Amino acid sequence: MSSSVVFIRGGEVVGATDSIYPKLNLLGHAQLVEVSVGSQCGGHGVCGADRIRVVASKVGALSPLSDVEFKHLDENEIKNGYRLACQCFPEFEAPDLVIQVTLR
């Protein structure tokens, strides 16, 4: 099984990458497959509009929450797996790693 980032909106898959790139944030992964995640500031962490809900198939697959994310996300959003696509990076690439991203 290959690694991928799968983007879901309204219960439907709207895009998926064929690989995971650890130095590319999830906003960049979305742009690779032409999926809009709502970023209004171009990925600089200013707008907070690129909220996504993320589930990874492996523990530790994603970068820790950044200070920017703590500024834009409330405690309940963080508890429920929300991140900012521009601030969230895969930590590694593994053959069976799947990162599921639910969009608004």
DSSP secondary structure of 36-78: ----SSSSSSSS---EEEEEESSTT-BPPPPHHHHHHS-HHHH
Q: Topology of 4-103 in CATH? A: Ubiquitin-like (UB roll) (3.10.20)
- Per-residue model confidence (pLDDT) at position 24: 97
Residue 7 exposed, middle or buried by CB count within 10 Å (0-12, 13-18, 19+): buried
Residue 96 has pLDDT above 90, yes or no: no
Distance CA 40, CA 50 (A): 8
Q: Percent of the chain scored above 90 by pLDDT?
A: 89
- Per-residue model confidence (pLDDT) at position 50: 96
Global confidence as pTM: 0.94
- Per-residue model confidence (pLDDT) at position 41: 92
Residue 36 has pLDDT above 70, yes or no: yes
Distance of CA 30 to the CA centre of its chain: 8
- Per-residue model confidence (pLDDT) at position 1: 65
Q: What is the mean pLDDT of the chain?
A: 94
Q: How many CB atoms are located within 10 Å of the residue 11 CB?
A: 6
pLDDT-derived band of residue 34, with 50, 70 and 90 as boundaries?
very high
- Per-residue model confidence (pLDDT) at position 2: 84
Distance CA 72, CA 45 (A): 9
